[in-house]
C-alpha cells in the first residue's frame, strides 16, 4: 500500500511538478506584490498569451507526430514583414510599395497565411517523401526563410501601419481584446481538427507508430505535409498579430519563439515522443510560461536572467517527458 502511494506521488510530481512550481511562484508574487493579482495585469498576460498560443497550437501538431519545427520563429518574422508591407499608410514616408494603397485587412492576412503555409508544405514534403528528419528539414527552412525575408525587406524595419491594422491589437469586443478572441477561435478550430476529423486521427496514429499507421491505410505522407503547412499558416497568423501589436516589424520578429512553444507544449502534456497531446496541453503550457515571465518581472529578476529560467524549464520539461516514455517502455 505504501509503495503504491509513493508511486502515485512520484507520478504526480513527474506529470505536474513544473506546473506546481509555477503555481507556487505566482502565489508568492501575488502575496508580495499586491498589483500582480489584478484584472489589468491578467488582461496583459492574456494578450501576451494570444499570439504565443497560436504558435504553440501550430507546433503541437508537429510534436504529436514526434517531430518539431525550428523554422517557426523565422516564418513568424516573414508573416509580420509581409503584413507590414501590405498594410502601410499611403502617405507614410518609408512606404515599402510606393503609391500602392493599403490592402484589405482580411486579404492581406489570407496572403500571409498562404505564403507561410507554402513554406511549411515544403518542409513537410522533404520530411514525408525524402525521409529528412524534421529537425534538419525545418532547420534548412529556417535559414531559407530568414534569407528570403532579408532580401524581401532589404533588412529594413517596417512601420507606418494603417489604423485598422493596429486596431487588431487595441480594439475590444465586449471588453475583451480582439487578439484574445482570435486565439480562442483558433484554439476551438484546432480542437475540432484534432478531435473530430480524420486528419486529427491520422495525426495521432502517426505519432504513435508511423509504420503501423501506414499499414492501416493512413495517408502518412500527405498528412505530414498538411500538418507542417497548417502549422506554418498559423505562424503567419501569429506574425500578423505581433506586427499589429508592435506597430512595426523586422526580420527578427518572432526570433526564438519556436523553442518556447515546444517547451510550452511539453509542459502542458504534449509528448515529444509522439502520439499524445491535446489543445488544452498547449493552453496550459503557454499560460505557465506567461505567468512565470510576469512573476519574474514583478519580482525584479533581471530580464537577461529570465532566459536562463526559461532554459532550465525546457531542460526539466523535456527530461520529465522522456522519463515518462522510458517508464512506459
pLDDT in tens, the chain (329 residues): 555 666 666 666 666 666 777 778 888 888 888 888 888 888 888 999 999 999 999 999 999 998 899 999 999 999 999 999 999 998 888 888 888 899 999 999 999 999 999 999 999 999 999 999 999 999 999 999 999 999 999 988 998 899 999 999 888 888 889 999 999 999 999 999 999 999 999 999 998 888 898 888 899 999 999 999 999 999 999 999 999 999 889 999 988 888 888 888 888 878 777 778 889 888 988 988 888 888 888 888 887 887 787 778 777 777 766 666 555 55
Please give the pLDDT value at position 114. 96
CA distance 72 to 77: 9
Please give the pLDDT value at position 232. 96
pTM (predicted TM-score):
0.90
227 is written with which cell numbers?
Answer: 500538418
Distance set, CA 203 to CA 67, 136, 200, 265 (Å): 11, 20, 5, 16
CB proximity list for 177: less than 8 A, separation 6 or greater:
43, 46, 47, 50, 169, 170, 171
Amino acid at each position: 500500500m505504501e509503495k503504491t502511494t509513493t508511486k502515485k506521488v512520484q507520478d504526480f510530481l513527474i506529470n505536474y511538478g513544473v506546473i506546481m512550481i509555477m503555481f507556487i511562484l505566482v502565489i508568492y508574487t501575488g502575496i508580495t506584490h499586491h498589483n500582480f493579482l489584478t484584472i489589468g495585469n491578467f488582461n496583459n498576460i492574456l494578450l501576451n498569451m494570444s499570439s504565443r498560443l497560436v504558435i504553440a497550437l501550430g507546433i503541437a501538431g508537429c510534436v504529436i507526430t514526434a517531430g518539431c519545427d525550428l523554422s517557426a520563429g523565422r516564418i513568424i518574422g516573414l508573416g509580420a514583414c509581409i503584413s507590414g508591407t501590405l498594410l502601410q499608410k499611403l502617405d507614410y514616408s518609408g512606404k515599402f510599395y510606393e503609391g500602392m494603397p493599403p490592402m484589405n485587412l482580411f486579404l492581406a492576412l489570407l496572403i500571409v497565411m498562404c505564403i507561410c503555409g507554402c513554406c511549411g508544405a515544403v518542409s513537410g514534403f522533404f520530411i514525408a517523401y525524402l525521409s529528412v528528419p524534421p529537425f534538419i528539414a525545418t532547420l534548412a527552412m529556417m535559414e531559407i526563410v530568414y534569407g528570403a525575408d532579408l532580401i524581401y525587406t532589404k533588412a529594413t524595419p517596417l512601420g507606418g501601419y494603417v489604423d485598422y491594422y493596429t486596431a487588431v491589437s487595441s480594439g475590444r469586443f465586449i471588453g475583451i481584446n480582439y487578439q484574445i478572441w482570435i486565439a480562442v477561435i483558433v484554439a476551438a478550430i484546432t480542437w475540432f481538427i484534432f478531435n473530430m476529423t480524420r486528419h486529427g486521427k491520422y495525426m495521432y496514429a502517426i505519432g504513435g507508430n508511423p509504420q503501423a499507421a501506414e499499414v492501416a491505410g493512413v495517408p502518412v505522407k500527405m498528412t505530414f505535409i498538411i500538418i507542417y503547412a497548417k502549422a506554418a499558416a498559423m505562424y503567419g497568423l501569429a506574425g500578423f498579430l505581433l506586427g499589429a501589436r508592435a506597430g512595426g516589424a523586422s526580420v527578427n520578429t518572432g526570433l526564438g519563439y519556436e523553442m518556447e512553444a515546444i517547451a510550452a507544449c511539453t509542459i502542458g502534456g504534449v509528448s515529444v515522443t509522439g502520439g499524445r497531446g491535446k489543445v488544452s496541453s498547449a493552453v496550459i503550457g503557454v499560460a505557465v510560461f506567461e505567468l512565470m515571465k510576469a512573476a519574474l518581472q514583478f519580482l525584479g529578476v533581471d530580464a537577461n536572467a529570465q532566459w536562463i529560467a526559461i532554459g532550465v524549464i525546457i531542460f526539466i520539461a523535456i527530461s520529465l517527458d522522456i522519463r515518462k516514455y522510458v517508464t512506459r517502455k
